[in-house]
Structure 1
Amino acid sequence: MTETQVNTSFRLVYVPGVNPGKWVRVWGERLPDVPLDLLAVPVGEGEGTLREGTADAGLVRLPVDRDVLSAIPLYTEATVVLFPKDHWLAAAEEVALADLAEDVVFHPLDDALDWPGELPGRPAIERPATTADAIELVAANIGVLLVPQSLARLHHRRDLTYRPIVEAPQSSVALAWPQDRTTELVEEFIGIVRGRTVNSSRGRGVQPSTPAAETKKGAQPQKPQSPKAGRPKTPGKPRPSAGSRGGAAPKRGGGKPKRRG
């Protein structure tokens, strides 16, 4: 059930690799009187932030607890393997998990991939604390790292490159919010993310102004004037008088003139 929004602002949490910019711009156009505050958190803290009520909604990575949070899946990212540019994998167009059998594969504590079992390759001595730490180790040519493609782009380095990897788990991004706090502003943001127009939105977005010609209720549209309308009338030819033929003036003094002797 939708609750009435009492807050004067809307807070959106998002995790690394997610870019909320296009939706934030639409929000500013539709609700200029309601500030949208962005809160960036590590991958593993998106769900907790929503549970604590620190944010109204969030762009997080699945899975989340569906007993507590409502979630709308938005898209699924391709998974890539990140390695130094001089690595032998650079010659391949795509990589299989079996190709990593001899490589150390890092598994950071904030891993964005939900692995159902063991990782491929050889495990590192210890797990890096963050994805950024793991990338530093990859740059030192100690091992490789599997991440969603957006994170590979986010942590771009000139000395590293990546290739798509098949058979690896993928990461899905979703819009999530607490089930017991589905406010009007949450509904408004859902509409923006789903691409609803202002007229079809369920929220309180700014409605487009009505043209002045349409403000009068029941006004009848004016019929377009004929092309002949407004032209000056051309005076017609005078009608012939009664008894005249062809409109010629009658001759005076009928008969032939007399000859003079």
Structure 2
Amino acid sequence: MNSPDSLRLLIVPGVSPGRWVSTWKDRYAQPIEVEVVAAAEIEARLVAGDGDAAFVRLPLGGPVDGGGSGALAVIPLWIEQSVVVVARENELSLLAEVSPADLAEETIITAGDDVLGWAESPGAPFTGPRPATSGDAVELVAAEAGVLVLPASIARAHTRKDVAVVPLLDGPTSQVGLAWRPVDGAPTPAVDDLIGVVRGRTANSSRGRTDEEPAVPLRPTEKAKAAARAARAAAARGAGAKGAARGRASGRAAGGKGSGGGRSGGARRRGGR
């Protein structure tokens, strides 16, 4: 992230900002750069100014909304359901969903980058060396060393054939939010635009930049109005002329048919005599 002209967006593992990045590129000329940062590091990176905005996992550890010079502003977004990652041979893989009680006889593996903080998890804790990352923990699950509880999006990122993912009911959840460091108590114009994209604000919203398309169409000038009236009048005259021409053509055609019919009848009468 070296370009000062780019919007620098940090994201925690598991967040897929593709649709928002696509909308940004369609709507704004300013480049956007995306970097995946560990959940334990992303807050410090944002506070230090090494990023304009970030998709983070809540709650944050530092001050929020006016809590000092290092405070971050946050918009809570969606809440993720957690899942249990089990070995393919584990009987839990046959269930449509599991509850904490179903994990009572299992060995629970917790990775060093864990974001759930399930302090009262059931089962027995894994006694081996703690895996540094969720990916390392999934390796242990595949080796049938235990089971792993993760947010669903992180589990999807580590999908493999020798493990299964089962939804966990009544377990810990993880909330994702959009965070930024306010400047003079407000987001920068670029961050405000990103907030609008994430919240579904349209390109014509009045809360955009001044170089965006206006929120409502501009009123036509008097010259444009006069040109439009002239065009409509010309179209009306053309339509009238075409109608008159069709009428004359129809009249001539009808007269020709009548004269032809009279001559034919006269010929038949002469033939009769």
Superposition pairs for residues 95-244 of structure 1, below 5 Å? Answer: 95-115=98-118, 117-125=119-127, 126-180=129-183, 182-200=187-205, 202-204=207-209, 207-208=212-213, 215-217=220-222, 219=225, 221-222=228-229, 223=232, 225=236, 229-230=240-241, 231-232=243-244
Q: Which digits, 9 at most, give the CA deviation of each residue in 1:206-254, with x for residues without a partner?
A: 5349xxx97535726545738952233667x9xxxxxxxxxxxxxxxxx
User: For the Cα contact (< 8 Å) 1:114–1:171, is it kept in 2?
Assistant: no
Match of 2:55 among 59, 64, 67: 59
Instruction: Kindly provide the amino acid, as one letter, of the partner of residue 184 in structure 1.
Output: P
Instruction: Kindly provide the amino acid, as one letter, of the partner of residue 195 in structure 2.
Output: I
Residues 183 and 85 of structure 1, relative CA distance in 2, 3 Å threshold: same
**Corresponding residue of 1:21:** 18
User: Which consecutive unaligned segments of at least 5 residues does structure 1 have?
Assistant: 1-6, 238-261
| Distance across 1 between alignment mates of 2:239 and 2:18 | 56
How far 1:182 moved relative to its partner? 1.7
SS in 1 for 2:236: coil
Figure out how many residues of one structure are paired with residues of the other and give that number.
227
| Distance across 2 between alignment mates of 1:226 and 1:86 | 83
* TM value normalised by structure 1: 0.78
Percent identical: 40
User: For the Cα contact (< 8 Å) 1:188–1:201, is it kept in 2?
Assistant: no
Instruction: Kindly provide the amino acid, as one letter, of the partner of residue 182 in structure 2.
Output: Q
User: For the Cα contact (< 8 Å) 2:88–2:142, is it kept in 1?
Assistant: no
User: For the Cα contact (< 8 Å) 2:109–2:137, is it kept in 1?
Assistant: yes
Residues 201 and 148 of structure 1, relative CA distance in 2, 3 Å threshold: farther
| Distance across 1 between alignment mates of 2:244 and 2:171 | 82
**Corresponding residue of 1:91:** 94
SS in 2 for 1:219: helix
SS in 2 for 1:225: helix
Structure 1 runs of 4+ with >6 Å offset:
none
- Whose helix proportion is higher, 1 or 2? 2
Structure number with the bigger relative contact order (C-alpha 8 A, sep ≥ 6) is 1
**Corresponding residue of 1:243:** none
| Distance across 2 between alignment mates of 1:15 and 1:202 | 28
How far 1:201 moved relative to its partner? 5.1
Match of 1:10 among 7, 10, 17: 7
Two-structure CA RMSD over aligned residues (Å): 2.7
How far 1:48 moved relative to its partner? 1.4
